[in-house]
C-alpha cells in the first residue's frame, strides 16, 4: 500500500474516533510485500479521498447545541443510574426522571451556553460516579478543568426520614454555591450505600 494512503488512513481513523483509538504500529511499517505492488484501483483511491474529506468536514462542523445537550442528558441519566445501584434505582427512578432530570437539562444548558458551538465537543463527562456515601454523580469538564459538578447528598431532617438532595455547583463561584435540582424522599430507614 502506498505510503500516502497509509498515512491518510491513520488521519482518517484519528479524526473519526477523536483520537481515542490509535492505529496499530504495523500501520507505519513499510512492508514491501507482493500485495503492495499491485496497481491501486482508481475507485478505491476516490473512495478513500472522499471518506477523508467527509470526516474532516464533519469534524470541523462539530455538533449542534441541541445534539450536545441531548448527549449530555443521556450520559447524565446513565451516570445517575450507575450511582444509584440496583437497590436505590428501582425505588427512585421514576421520580428522578420527572423531577431531577429536567432540571439537570436546564442546568447543563445554562452553564454551557457561554461556550460557542464549535467548543462544545471539547466538553466531556467524568466516567465513574463515586460510591459509598460520597456525593459525586458526574462532572462536566473542559481540558481537565471542571465546569459543572452534579452531586447528590443524603439529608435527614429530624423525624422526617431520609431525602436525596440533588444539586450542582459551577465554576462561576469556585463551586461554593449549592444549586438545587430537586429532592426525593427515600424512607425512614437508612438508604443503602451508592452503587450497591
Quick one: pLDDT at residue 133?
86
Domain boundaries, the chain: 3-61, 65-187
Range list of H helices, the chain: 3-16, 34-37, 42-61, 65-95, 101-112
pLDDT tops 60 at residue 162: yes
38-67 CB burial, b ≥16 within 10 A, e <16: eeeeeeeeeebeeebeebeeeeeebeeeee
Model confidence at 26, pLDDT cuts 50, 70, 90, reads low
Residues with Cβ within 8 Å of 55's Cβ and at least 6 positions away in sequence, in order, are 12, 15, 16
pTM, 2 dp: 0.67
Quick one: pLDDT at residue 92?
94
Quick one: pLDDT at residue 54?
47
- Most confident option among 5-19, 25-39, 153-167: 153-167
Mean pLDDT of 105-114: 92
| Residues 150 and 141 sit within 8 Å (Cβ to Cβ) | no
Model confidence at 79, pLDDT cuts 50, 70, 90, reads very high
Amino acid at each position: 500500500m502506498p505510503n500516502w494512503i497509509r498515512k491518510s488512513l491513520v488521519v482518517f481513523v484519528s479524526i473519526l474516533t477523536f483520537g481515542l483509538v490509535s492505529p496499530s504500529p504495523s500501520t507505519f511499517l513499510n512492508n514491501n510485500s507482493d500485495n503492495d505492488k499491485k496497481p491501486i484501483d482508481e475507485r478505491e483511491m476516490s473512495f478513500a479521498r472522499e471518506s477523508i474529506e467527509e470526516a474532516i468536514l464533519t469534524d470541523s462542523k462539530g455538533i449542534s447545541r441541541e445534539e450536545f445537550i441531548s448527549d449530555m442528558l443521556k450520559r447524565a441519566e446513565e451516570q445517575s443510574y450507575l450511582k444509584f445501584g440496583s437497590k436505590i434505582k428501582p425505588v427512585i427512578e421514576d421520580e428522578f426522571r420527572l423531577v431531577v432530570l429536567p432540571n439537570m437539562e436546564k442546568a447543563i444548558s445554562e452553564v454551557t451556553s457561554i461556550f460557542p458551538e464549535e467548543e462544545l465537543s471539547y466538553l466531556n463527562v467524568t466516567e465513574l460516579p463515586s460510591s459509598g456515601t460520597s456525593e459525586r454523580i458526574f462532572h462536566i469538564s473542559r481540558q481537565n478543568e471542571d465546569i459543572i459538578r452534579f452531586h447528590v447528598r443524603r439529608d435527614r431532617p429530624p423525624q422526617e426520614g431520609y431525602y436525596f438532595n440533588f444539586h450542582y455547583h459551577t465554576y462561576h463561584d469556585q463551586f461554593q454555591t449549592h444549586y438545587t435540582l430537586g429532592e426525593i424522599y427515600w424512607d425512614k430507614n437508612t438508604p443503602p450505600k451508592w452503587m450497591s
